[in-house]
């Protein structure tokens, strides 16, 4: 079991380029696992955690409904946003500047083989991080992600989640609104759930912006504890190749 995780911050990166990179890493792990079936000495599978921020983009999961995107292709062009149908679970989601996106590409056989537990731990990472800012968040039954004021007329979502898993290897992940322009959410029915609002951490705290690197550090800290994982630096990866 390899519990070391390579952490990469991709900065502001096009969604399709990031998706292709995820697929590359995902495929490499799957290939290693396939070869390990007949290997006398199995090769450890690597794990990755990517942080990224995307230019404006709407993505629709494989179980999603296109009618939850409320604007035309012409309007997408007007507001400078892209649209992709992708291979994660869930419905429609928006990504854009001011949002922290986390893509854990893990071989869960290095940690535990339970996708339900995996999703709940991703939610817990965000819940614990928000608590450090004095924001109480929670889960909403039957609605993956992280919410505020669940069960009230003021329920609002602050973090969306959608993953893909095959042979216990994960990709895609979570999108936490930190300094997001919430106006872009008006162009869709978030996650296909009608009548629920969306919020951002800076809005909840009543401040213009929050240092995103600071939030990433907190997310990563909770990830390492909850997954009992250790960071592998790029120099260590190069030395092991």
The residue length of the chain stands at 241
Contact in structure between 3 and 229 (CB atoms under 8 Å): yes
Residue 160 assigned to a binding site: yes
Residue 90 assigned to a binding site: yes
Q: Which of 52, 122, 191, 219 is catalytic?
A: 191
Residue 206 assigned to a binding site: no
Q: Which residue has the tokens 């996650």?
A: 191
Asked if 191 is an active-site residue, the reply is: yes
Residue 93 assigned to a binding site: yes
Residue 162 assigned to a binding site: yes
The CA distance from 88 to 106, in Å, is 15
The three-state secondary structure class of 104 is strand
Residue 94 assigned to a binding site: yes
Residue 88 assigned to a binding site: yes
Residue 95 assigned to a binding site: yes
What kind and span of H or E run contains 170?
strand 169-177
Residue 27 assigned to a binding site: no
The CA distance from 50 to 34, in Å, is 24
Tokens at residue 166, please? 């095959």
Residue 92 assigned to a binding site: yes
- Angle, CA 107 vertex, CA 17 and CA 7 arms, to 5°: 55
Q: Which residue has the tokens 């409904």?
A: 65
Residues facing residue 53 across a β-bridge = 12
Binding positions: 88-95, 160-162, 173-175
Binding positions for substrate: 88-95, 160-162, 173-175
The residues assigned a catalytic role are 191
């Amino acid at each position: 079991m390899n519990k070391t995780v390579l952490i990469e911050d991709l900065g502001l990166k096009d969604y399709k380029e990031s998706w292709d990179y995820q697929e590359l890493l995902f495929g490499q792990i799957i290939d290693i696992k396939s070869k390990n079936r007949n290997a006398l000495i199995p090769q450890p599978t690597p794990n990755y955690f990517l942080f990224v921020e995307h230019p404006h983009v709407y993505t629709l999961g494989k179980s999603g409904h296109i009618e939850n995107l409320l604007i035309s292709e012409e309007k997408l062009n007007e507001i400078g946003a892209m649209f992709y149908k992708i291979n994660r679970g869930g419905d429609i989601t928006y990504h854009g500047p001011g949002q922290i996106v986390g893509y854990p590409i893990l071989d869960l056989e290095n940690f535990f083989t339970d996708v339900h537990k995996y999703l709940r731990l991703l939610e817990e990472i965000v819940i614990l991080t928000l608590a450090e800012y004095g924001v109480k968040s929670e889960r909403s039954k039957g609605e993956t992600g992280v919410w505020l004021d669940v069960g009230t007329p003021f329920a609002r979502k602050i973090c969306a989640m959608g993953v893909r898993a095959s042979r216990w290897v994960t990709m895609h992940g979570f999108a936490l609104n930190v300094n997001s322009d919430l106006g872009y959410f008006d162009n869709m029915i978030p996650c296909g759930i009608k009548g629920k609002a969306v919020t951002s951490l800076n809005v909840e705290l009543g401040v213009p912006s929050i240092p995103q690197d600071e939030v990433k550090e907190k997310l990563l800290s909770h990830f390492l504890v909850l997954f009992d994982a250790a960071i592998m630096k790029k120099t260590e990866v190069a030395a092991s190749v």
